[in-house]
Structure 1
Amino acid sequence: MRARAVGILFNNQNEVLLMRRRKEGRVYATLPGGGIEGSETPAEACAREMLEEVNLAVEVVREVLTLDNLGNREHYFLTRVLSGEMRLGDGPEGVRHSDENWYSPEWVALHRLDEVNLVPEGVRGLVREMGEEG
């Protein structure tokens, strides 16, 4: 089983940060995150992945969910921005970005979350609930 760390980030306009994806003809969105490397803790991996994927240094507030999904053990963390300007980062996603394998970070309003093909589907309710807690 592969271990992943995922960040959940809200802005003050009641929007959540998602990574829009187009891969192998499929269009979907995920929360930013990726594999845990070496001796990293899940929280450390979450902070690194957020910087690599969306160019934001974040504070990891707390773990809110651990989920087994498609052979991965996924750790979901509520995060808060420390610094940076949101854009596609300089990590592997920025390097692999192409017309066939496309990445686009964007803020999505919570009231529009049902319009997005968010995967895994099981996190949609969690994101909505956490956004409403404010």
Structure 2
Amino acid sequence: MSAQPQRIRSVALIYSEAGEVLLILRRKEGRHYATLPGGGIEDGETPAQACAREVLEEVSLTVQVGPEVAVMENLGNREYYFLAEVLGGEMGLGDGPEALRQSEDNHYDPQWVKLSRLEAVNLLPTEVRALVREHAR
């Protein structure tokens, strides 16, 4: 019998027409890394609804959530991955909890990253690198 996940998250894979993927470059406690936009699913939300909300909160973009492309287990968390398309907004740090936690030791920087530069980025969790490449347009 498998244990219940500690946290259930929803994550967006968002690509630009210019061959880029949207990442959040992070600096936290001296570590530099990048993540895809996403976060916890709230009570009453579907994974797709959480995906759209998290993207808006984290990077100020409204998205159309497309198909689910993967479900992964990571550090005891279950993560649902969706393709998403930008409908509107101006990319920048949103007004979600990340903005409140922003500090010199806990920095969030949403950026479009060329797929050709993906190998140079410390993308976490490491398993998502293959997923990002697989679904790139």
TM-score w.r.t. length of structure 1 = 0.97
Considering fraction of residues, name the structure with more helix: 1
CA displacement at 1:125 relative to structure 2 = 1.0
Gaps of 5+ in 2: none
Identical-residue share of aligned pairs (%): 61
CA distance in 2, matches of 1:115, 1:17: 15
CA RMSD across the alignment:
0.6
CA distance in 2, matches of 1:24, 1:42: 30
Aligned to 2:109: 104
Letter in 2 for 1:46: C
Letter in 1 for 2:60: N
Aligned to 2:96: 91
- Residue 106 of structure 1 aligns to a residue whose secondary structure is strand
Q: Pairwise mapping of residues 1-134 of structure 1 onto structure 2 (< 5 A)?
A: 1=5, 2-131=7-136, 134=137
CA distance in 1, matches of 2:37, 2:29: 19
Stretches of 4+ aligned residues off by more than 3 angstroms: none
Paired residues, number? 132
CA distance in 1, matches of 2:91, 2:69: 23
Gaps of 5+ in 1: none
CA distance in 2, matches of 1:124, 1:112: 12
